[in-house]
Structures are given as C-alpha cells and as structure tokens.
Structure 1
Amino acid sequence: MRADARAGEGARLLAAFATRVVPRLARARAHKGSHGGKIAVVGGSELYAGAPYFASAAAMRAGCDLCHVFTHAKCAPVMKGYGPDLIVHEAWSRDAREATRGAKTETETENERSIDLVEAFGRFRIDNAVIGPGLGRGAALEAVEALREVAAACVVDADGLKALEPTSADEDGAEAARGRNPTALATPNKMELWRLVRKASGAFEGGVTTMDLSAREDREKIASALRRYAGYNFLVKGEDDYLFIQHWDVAPSVCDSERAASGDASIVRLRFDGVGSPKRSGGQGDILAGVLAVFLLWSQRTDATTASNRLDDYVAAVGAACFLVKAASSAAYREYGRGAHAQDVLARVASTFMAHLEPDLS
C-alpha cells in the first residue's frame, strides 16, 4: 500500500485493511471463490436495471471471483446485455404493482417465475450478498431476513431497507439479536436513516434537517433507535460516513479512551480528507454496496482469534470500502467534472484499489 494514501486514523484503517484483510493471491490454491469469494446481488425490477448492475460490477472490480445476480425476469435480459462477467438468474416475475391487480388467471399463475433464494445461495455456494439495489417493492423483499443469515456479512441497501422492522418498544433489541449473525450491514443515506429512526422511535419529528450526525446528543438518539433493528450494523453515508456498531460486546480499537468514556464507542466516524466529489449521480451508492459485500466477506476470512480483532477487521473493511469509492469518485471528477457519472466512478474502482489498497507482495 502507498504510504501517502491518508494521514492519521484513516491511514491506520487503510493499513490494517491492506495488511490483514486483503487476501493474498496464491497460484497454488487459485480457484473460483478461493481469493475474492462468490457474491450475489438480489435486486432489479421491471423499471430499474442500472442499480443491480452497478452493485455487481463494482463487486467484480473490487476483487470478487464470481458474481450472481438474482433479478426480475424482465430485468434479466438487460443485465445479461451489459456484459458476460455476471451470472444472471431470472428469479421472479411478479412485482407489487401486479399483486394489486386482483386474482390471477390460471395461465398467469403458471407463467410466474419464483426461485427459492435461500436454496439458490446454497446451491451456488454464495459467500456474501447485497440485497436491495433497484428492487422496488417486489416479493423478494420477503427474503431479506432469511438471506442475511446465510450470507457472511450481508449488505442491505436501497429498497432492501424497507424490509427492516424494529422490535417492539417493550422488546430488547440486543436480546432479539442474540444468536444471529452480528455482521449484517444496512447502508442508509441520511434521508433513509431518518425514516428508519422515525419508524423505531419517533425521534426527529421535525424532519431530516433536524437530525445532526455531528452532534453527540443526536448520535445517541440515533444509536438508541437503531438498536431496535435486531442484529444489524448501520453505515450512514455522507461527506463523513458514520458506522453504528450494534450488539457487539467490545469496542473497535479506533475508538479512543475519551469517546469510550462518553458512551460513543460504538459509533465510528469514517473520514478521509482529500477524497470525494461534489458531483452526485445515481448509482454511486450501489457501487459502494457491491464493494462492501466483497470487503466484508474478506474481513470474515482473516485469522482473527478474538472478538476485538474480528471487529477491528470489520471496521477496517467498511472504512476501506468508503475510501475506495470516494477516491474513485475523486478521480472521475478530476477528469469529467460535473459530467462525471456512476459509470466513470465504476471504471476507476480497480485502478484506485491498486494504487492505495493492494498489499505489498514482496
């Protein structure tokens, strides 16, 4: 890894990721899945084909070995036309709008396609998954909770967030999460976060503009609400990204003693100066989701033997994904300015990884 990538806490995260988390490429054991893993993207609908493409293509550019896309039957041909690298499955054919049209005819029932996603994950030996990009309100939302338990560190984004339900006010979120995989990650932007918090606790009733992540009091309200989403961690995307760590018994080493003493130890601000772009376009969040699925899988495959070390690897993976996409966005903006779009960011993911995150092989 280049020594000048970032300074301070961000540099330590990136160094930890490059030295501990990134798998070394070894020819002696090279087979599909051995290094980068097998990722699935569950998303897409009759209307949205770009979102699952960006997530799956980003996973490939970030280093996964195989990527399966499970999508709507009308989205699948479009996905296949984007390129030969993706394995595209026609996973379902009915969406929420069709479900409101009344009783189906016998022919309509026979023509409906729907596969058991959990069974498919096992059959294709899927290691990790992204659920939600472009999914709409289709029937696949019902699979979110089941899929998160069979993936190493499932990433739930975009429409997948609509499937998350908080525990009741008198139920302990930590108790509800007991025995579940604690590595699933939901990735809301600030507006999506506000909706999740409102649904869980009713806080910030004045609107999203009343919620200030830079204020400790607001972060504590947010953390309290998010703990009711049993078993999920939350990455809140923005100029600075905030990782809310739920239901772990240890704090990551990136938390200093002052933050730990203040009760803010379960919240990590991920800040990397000098990267990012003022230009926003659709698809950048999908790119991040795909990268996260790969990096989080790698974080589950390290030789960490303690809960503290496992959590540090997890946080390093999240931080590295945020940095990579922002650095790729910076590179795209330098070349295209306000004309930069998600395709330009995607095209720079692999080269940015090589420049900043590829470990020394000497």
Structure 2
Amino acid sequence: MASTATTPAGGSGLASTDDAAVMSRFRELVPQLGGNYKGAHGKVAVIGGCLEFTGAPFFAAMSALRVGADMAYVICTPSAATAIKSYSPELMVLPYLHEAAAAAAWPGGAGEDKVDMVAVSRAVDRILPWLQRATAVVVGPGLGDDPAVCEAGAALLHHARALGLPVVIDGSALTHIIAQRPEYAVGYSNCVLTPNVAELGRIGAAVGVHLPGRMSDAWQVHAPSIAQAFGGPVVVAKGPTDLICVPSSPPHAAADAAAASPSPSPSTSGQELRPLLECKDPGALRRCGGQGDVLAGTIAAFLCWAVKQQGGSKASAAQSSGVRPSSTSTTTTSGGGLEPGTTAMCVYAACKVMRGAAAEAYRVQERSLLAGDIIPHLYPTFRRVVGGP
C-alpha cells in the first residue's frame, strides 16, 4: 500500500498519496487502443550495452514494449550489438557508441586511459537524430565502465536534458556518470534516479549526503535527503520497500542551494523529510540480477504516456530542464516537463507492476527465477493492477 507520507513543503502535485487514489489517477494516463499511429504510445531509447553486459539493455527495452510502449531501440557499442540483436527481432539495435577499449585492442590503439573525444563526438552526432525521436530515455543499463562509452552517455544525457525528455538513469550511469558528475542530474525535474542500496550511497556522497556505517537496507531512510540534495529528480530507492522521493523545494531553488553549499547531514535531514510514496507490494523472494533493468524500462514506458497526455511545448521543456541547449545541441523537443507528482505516480505504478510480475514469476520458478522469466508476466500483472485492455 502507498504511504501517507508527503514532503513537508513545495508540494508534489498529488492530491492524495493513498494507493487507490494514486492508481486511479494513473489510469487516466493509460492511452486507449485503436486508431493510433505507430509510436503514439511512446518510443523508448535505451542507452547502454557493451561487450560485458548485453542482457541489461535488452531487459529494459523489452519490458517497455511488454507494458505497452510502441517502439524501443537500444543504442549500444558495436561489440554488444550482435548479441542484443539475436535476443529479439522486436528491438532496433544501433551500434553507435564508441569504445575506447576496442580501440586499444588494435596495434597503435588509443589505449583505455586516453579517450578519443573526437570519435566520441562523432558517435554522439550520429545518435542525436535517434534521440530526437524518443519520447523517453533510459541511460545506464549495461553501459559499463569504458571511459569513452561513459563520455558518450554523459553527452547524450546532456542532450536529452536540453530537449526536455524524461530520463530514467539506472545501473552503470548512476555509478560512472552521476556519482562522478552529479550536475548532469541536479535540478532536472524530468528525471528519475533508480539506485539500489550501493548506488544510493554513491550518488548521495556526490551531493554531500554521506551515509553512516556499513552499507545496508537501513541506508534507504536517507533517500529523501538525497532527493532533496539533487533538487529535481525523483529518486526511487530500491529495496524491501521501494521509497519514491521528491524534493520539497522547487527544483531551481533546491539546485541553487545544492550548488552553494553541501546538503544537510542524514542525521538531521533524514528526520525532517519522508518519501512521497512507498511501494510495499510483495515481490520475488529470489533477488536475481536484471530486475532493476525491467523496472527502468517499465518506468520509461509509463513516462511516455504521461508526456503524450500532457502534450508539452518547447517552452515548458526548456523551463523544466534547468539548462539551455548549447550551440551544438538540437533544439527540437519531444515532450514537456512533467510535474514531480506525475513522475512519482508513474514510478509507483511501475514498481507495483514489476513487483507483482516478479511475485508471479517466482511462484512458478522459485529458486530458478531469472529476470527474463519476469517479462512475460508484466502485462498480465498490468491488467490486474491497473485494469483495462
């Protein structure tokens, strides 16, 4: 059930945090079937996938399709493309991310410690037309730690923000982009950060919220403080209970405060701030890898629907983004900024669908449960949790 906790100031745009009320409002976002053009229900771009990690971007993209997005494409490295293409013909796979490690493998290569920024820039330019077509973007599943790939991921995150696109930042991007350069997310309200407990500690430290003691699920209590320090993104701290947190101050005010001084310590701010929503629905007892990728893709699909219903304009997108597009950025927008409450509502619904699907898959598979087993249960769970065809 949903928590009745709300942030103490600033407002979220949600009239009620009761489970029934939140889900009733979410149902209003679900698009009607029939008479639509291809892409009307959302196009999800997943940026990630490298030689070592090919499953994560597949799970994210396929989950987006299985809950109702019309199209999904994976922007990955050349070394990952063939594997991802072989998983499903439903996905468009674009092998455009430049790999420093791949260059280093050849005689005279640049070496892993030296990033060819010209090659990275060319890769980003090639990807930008695809980014412009997206309704929502997921950055991070299977991105890995290749420095060139991470530079491209950061640049694409910047462009997505300049376009005002909803962005879900997950997995490797939390560790290798946001934990190193939090400014890519600070102040951006059209953004969702999806940390597990370890990633929560890393991104918290990046904005001055250093979590006490050893890593444990107890760290989740500080998620509202971390959301407040980021001053814009919705933070969903994944764990036994998924805590969905929004900042209590307007995004620009919180971002300015975060830039001016370190955020309050968890010992004080953790007592003042609470999650907006809590998803406690039962999930799977087995903690197999890949469940976070399934959740990220599901969130992105739901954000597509929110954007499509809202319509949006270039002006609202630019206002929401908190940054001005650079001279090399594109200026077209695929969606306007969403209210934090609307984004949180989409995240909450995605958590419920993901947990329900995982629970059903676990009922069948038990100890042998894998992330791929969850995906076929997403839509039946959506029908049960949300309703409708």
Q: Quick check: 1:327 aligned with 2:331?
A: no
Question: Secondary structure at 1:69's aligned position in 2?
Answer: strand
Structure 2 CA distance for aligned equivalents of residues 210 and 276 of structure 1: 16
What residue number does 2:42 align with?
37
TM-score after normalising by structure 2 = 0.72
Note if 1:268 corresponds to 2:276: yes
What residue is the counterpart of 1:155 in the other structure?
168
Instruction: Write the distance in 2 (CA, Å) between the matches of 1:264 and 1:276.
Output: 26
Q: Deviations along 1:139-183, whole A, 9 cap, x unmatched?
A: 232223333333531000000112115889xx9x99x73xxx512
Q: Which residue of 2 aligns with 1:70?
A: 75
Q: Which residue of 1 aligns with 2:242?
A: 241
Out of 14, 17, 21, the residue aligned to residue 26 of structure 2 is 17
- State the alpha-carbon separation in 2 of the partners of residues 263 and 96 from structure 1: 46
Q: Which runs of 5+ in 2 are unaligned?
A: 1-16, 111-115, 252-270, 313-319, 321-337
Distance 1:240 1:42, change over 3 A: same
Alignment of 1:77-156 (within 5 A): 77-96=82-101, 104=109, 114-116=123-125, 119-122=128-131, 125-138=133-146, 139-142=148-151, 143=155, 144-150=157-163, 152-156=165-169
Q: Distance in 1 between matches of 2:217 and 2:53?
A: 31
Superposed CA deviations along residues 68-99 of structure 1, whole A, max 9, x for unmatched, are 11001011111111111101111124145756
Check 1:231–1:97 CA distance in 2 against 1; reply closer, same or farther (3 A cut).
farther
Asked if the contact 2:98–2:149 (Cα under 8 Å) also holds between the matched residues in 1, the reply is no
Deviations 1:191-234 (A, max 9, x none): 110122223326224222384435xxxx3xx5444444354221
C-alpha distance 281-12 of structure 1, shift in aligned 2 (>3 A): same
RMSD: 3.5
Query: What SS does the corresponding residue of 1:301 show, helix, strand or coil?
Result: helix
> Does structure 1 conserve the Cα–Cα contact (< 8 Å) formed by 2:42 and 2:301?
yes
% identical aligned pairs? 28
| 1:298 pairs with 2:311 | no
Aligned pair partner of 1:187 in 194, 200, 208: 194
3-state DSSP of counterpart to 1:302: helix
Task: Tell me if 1:279 matches 2:286.
Answer: yes
In 2, the alpha carbon distance for the partners of 1:100 and 1:48 equals 18
**Structure 2 vs 1, CA of residues 81 and 227 (structure 1 numbering), >3 Å: closer, same or farther?**
same
| Cα pair distance change 1:145/1:208, threshold 3 Å | farther
Shift of 1:184: 0.6
Distance 1:117 1:357 in 2: 38
Hey, what's the Cα distance between the residues in 2 that align with 1:127 and 1:248?
27
How many residue pairs were aligned? 318
Change beyond 3 A, Cα 1:49–1:224 = same
Residue 51 of structure 1: how far off its partner (Å): 0.5
Which of 65, 74, 88 in structure 2 is aligned with 1:60?
Answer: 65
1:357 is displaced (CA, Å) by: 1.4
Q: Distance in 1 between matches of 2:352 and 2:29?
A: 15
Amino acid at match of 2:163: V
Of residues 185, 188, 203 in structure 2, which corresponds to 1:196? 203
Relative to 1, partners in 2 of residues 1:16 and 1:338: Cα closer, same or farther, differing over 3 Å? same
Alpha-carbon spacing, 1:206–1:65, altered in 2? closer, same or farther (3 Å)? same
Q: What is the rounded CA distance, in whole Å, between the counterparts of 1:191 and 1:165 in structure 2?
A: 11
Residue in structure 1 matched with residue 54 of structure 2 by the alignment: 49
For the structure 1 residues 132 and 9, does the alpha-carbon distance in structure 2 shift closer, same or farther, using more than 3 Å as the test?
Answer: same
Moved more, 234-243 or 223-232: 223-232
Alpha-carbon spacing, 1:158–1:210, altered in 2? closer, same or farther (3 Å): closer
Q: Counterpart amino acid of 1:356?
A: V
Structure 2 distance, partners of 1:134, 1:66, is 20
Distance, in Å, in 2 between the alignment partners of 1:55 and 1:15 is 26
For residues 168-179 of structure 1, the aligned pairs below 5 Å read 177=187
Letter in structure 2 aligned against 1:51? A
Shift of 1:293: 0.5
- The amino acid of 1:126's aligned partner reads A
The question of whether the paired residues in 2 share the 8 Å contact of 1:152 and 1:297 is answered with no
Asked whether the 8 Å contact 1:22–1:358 carries over to 2, the reply is no
